[in-house]
Amino acid sequence: MFSKKKSQIAIEFLILLAMSFFIIISFMIIIVSISKTNARIQSFSDIDDLGKSLQQEVMLASQLEDGYIRKINVPVTLNGLDYNISYGESPKEGYIFLGFKDTEAYYFIPKILGNITRGDNYIRKNNGILNISQS
């Protein structure tokens, strides 16, 4: 009779231990999922901030007089992470493309000559035409 009680206690202990492991693993899976979502939101926020600031710079330059020159520093990485940047043209206007892993964003701007790259860029306006170059 005494050994049955010990074996029942041992089985109950193992069941409780298994349930607690299951609960802990479930919480860890939820935490990892939330942190991945937060990282994805943060990376989109960084891309969006950069895209909007570049868009504002080009829009400002397009509204100012000829002879405007400004140095724009486009970061090489965003919070230590690599990203893509390029300029493209649609029939009426241009756009800046920014991409990071599965995050992509497009920002419409007036047409420009040249290409936006990471590092130092110079935006110039001569004869009503915007030009972006590295020097």
What tens digit of pLDDT does each residue of 113-134 get?
A: 888 889 999 999 999 899 998 8
pLDDT in tens, 54-97: 999 999 999 999 999 999 999 998 888 888 888 887 766 788 99
pLDDT at 29: 95
pLDDT at 5: 79
Model pTM? 0.72
Which contacts of 117-122 are long-range, i.e. CB under 8 A and separated by 24 or more positions? 117/74, 117/85, 118/74, 118/75, 118/76, 118/85, 119/73, 119/74, 119/76, 120/71, 120/72, 120/73, 120/74, 121/71, 121/72, 121/73, 121/74, 122/69, 122/70, 122/71, 122/72
pLDDT at 80: 82
pLDDT at 114: 87
pLDDT in tens, 7-64: 888 899 999 999 999 999 999 999 999 998 888 888 888 889 999 999 999 999 999 9
Q: The sheet that has 84-89: what strands, in order across it?
A: 84-89, 94-100, 103-109
Q: Which two tokens stand for residue 131?
A: 């030009």
pLDDT at 2: 55
